[in-house]
Amino acid sequence: MATTLYHGGGDRPERDFHGAAIIGADGREIPITEAMVERALHALQRQWDDVKRRGERR
């Protein structure tokens, strides 16, 4: 979860992603959410399961 921080400069608060952000093509920081991590891990698991199944058929 991102935390909103106020650093005294300007009217716009900065968001602190605790280093968990990716930079989009337009240069914006996109926080990495738990849901994003879970989807990535599930995709990796499905790929690994496919690799194991292919190996078992040989």
Q: Where are the domains of the chain?
A: 3-57
pLDDT (tens digit per residue) in 4-47: 544 445 566 666 656 689 999 999 999 999 999 999 999 999 99
Q: In this model, does residue 54 exceed pLDDT 50? A: yes
Contact 44, 38 (CB under 8 A): no
pLDDT at 20: 87
pTM attached to this predicted model = 0.56
pLDDT (tens digit per residue) in 38-47: 999 999 999 9
Q: Which two tokens stand for residue 11?
A: 């009217």
Amino acid identity for residue 4 in this structure: T
Q: How far apart are CA 58 and CA 56, in angstroms?
A: 6
